[in-house]
Structures are given as C-alpha cells and as structure tokens.
Structure 1
C-alpha cells in the first residue's frame, strides 16, 4: 500500500491548508507514524538548517542545540496527550549534507522521547520498482497524508486520504519496516556518522 498512496485520489491541500488540517487532527489521535524517504529537503525557515546550507556547520549545530528547549516542550505536550510518535528514516550512505544535519536534530528528538528507527534503502527496495516511496504521515486509525515537495525538497502541501482501509494497510507495512529498523542511537554509535559534531554518537 505504501507505494500506492501516490496513485490514490485524496483531498489536495495547499501548504497553509495542510498545516491547519494536520494540527487540528494531530491532537485528536494517540499515535503518529512518519516515513521519511528523501535524502534532501529544504527548510529555509529553520535557522539551523539555513546555517548548514550556508556551509557554517559549527553555527548550525549550535542553533540545533538551541532547539532542544522547544522540542522538549513539544514532547511534554505529546506525553500529556498520550501521543506516541514513531519515525522511520531511510538513510543512504554516504550522508547528504542535509541528512547529516537532520540526524543531529533527530538525535535530540530521540533523546527527548521521539521513537526513531533507521533503515537502509535496500529494506524498501521491493516497494520502489517504479520510483521512490512517497513521504507519508499516518495520524491515528484513519488519516494518511502524502506530503508534497517540489523538486528541490521544499514542502508544498499534502494529499489527505481518510479511508481507514488505507491507513490500516499503511500502518501494517510501516510496522513491518519498524520491526526491521535499527534504533537511531544504535545506528549512530555503529556508523559514527556524527563523529565530526564533537559529541558522542
């Protein structure tokens, strides 16, 4: 089902509509699943990303560390609502500059409570005979978003599917990927891909 989401008809949401719809639905569920497949995104509204994109890795990491307070507050709100977040991150080696940065931020998120596992591309290859898997977020038992990006990786909006059968099928496949995945902390320790950040990985 994951590879079929892009083919299915849903409600097309522009960027502002997507953010508004997502926020309204998110706080009504008890779980979210996120599948990240792309290796490069553009996040110009995030100062830490902007510093990384400008080539200033030291400032990028310092700004990422400053994000910890906001992430911790968000996690406390999630915990208060009983919402469990799971993220499946496909990681190609060697890392893109973006993914080097994102993994640093994800390590902070994982430290604070988000559940994150990593997979190599080979673990999703059987679903990618006609192209890469889409970026997908599941909220609860019914809501499936295919997040839309332009060619450079800037978020443009999303397609929303509310058929519970789609969500159930996608969740089953994500759970299978989750079972195969490696915990983020273990992956970082084993590979040492963040060794140049100056902090234990």
Structure 2
C-alpha cells in the first residue's frame, strides 16, 4: 500500500475542492459583486444612508480549510483586477497589535505602488519630457495621497503618544488650540475621512 503524503497549510483550491469544503462560495462571490456594484452607485447618494456592514464569516474547526477558502477568494478577486490586501493572521501578531493601523499600512503600500506606476506612465510616456518636468511632477502630491494623509493624520490623533507629543510641542496658543480641537474630533473625522 502506497502512503499518501499529507501537506498542511493554506493553498489556492480548485473548483471541486471549494464545492466540497465551502458549498456557499458562489453565493459569497455574488454578494461581493453586489457590494461592489452598490458601492460604485452610492457615490452619488448621501453617505449617511449608504453605511453597510460588509463583513463575512467563514466558520470551521482547525484545519477545515478556512484559510484556503480565503486564499481562493483573494485569487478570484485579483483575477478581476481588484485590489486585495494581504491576509492578517492574528495568531502571529503580538499584543500591541493595532488592526486599523495594519489596514492603513496595507492601503499605504498599495497607494505608493499605484502612484509610482501612474508617475512612470505619465512621465515616461511623454516624448521629449525633460528632467525639469520630471522633477516637478515627481514632487507634486496627488489628491488621492492628500486624502490618505488626512486619514493618517486623524488616525494618529487617536493615539495617546501622538496626542501627548502635540500638546508638548506647540509654538503658541493658536497652534495648541488647533491641535487640541483636532484631537477632540479625531475619531469622528477619521471615520468621515476613511468613508469619503
């Protein structure tokens, strides 16, 4: 009798494997497509009305294939030109972990790569673009980056160390008042900026 080799760890699954482990896969992918469609439509609708809870749970015991299902979903989404962040494995992270900070870090990596690609395409696709033009363009900050920087700023306002630093390092009363006002509204502004 030939012994089977069993491999442990997550992997991208074939359709038949997915059907066996997670029969609801097609329904989940349809729901994701529905969320994407409604998200693009909601840009013209009042934001207060469009808040949704877009959270899905894949439940199962240890070794039941949850991570493999997630990898398969990520793979399918990437095939459709979706931006997919790396999986966050909470069991490999220390106690000082900040989930929102981790998500913002992933957003920053994708944003940086995207802006680099845009700059490359715009700069080097122009024939006769001289060094002066390239230097000026590279220093320009895009609207997308400005919005991300604002989200990051309000995120930092929610951290005690950053708040302490701001209150200790002010030059005059006006700057102290401005920093204090921003700190008081940090959570609300962070939510508004992140959902913008």
Q: TM-score, normalised by structure 2?
A: 0.25
Greater helix share, 1 or 2?
Answer: 2
Give TM-score, length-normalised by structure 1: 0.24
- Give the structure, 1 or 2, with the largest relative contact order (CA under 8 Å, sep 6 or more): 1
Relative to its length, the structure with more strand (as a share) is 1
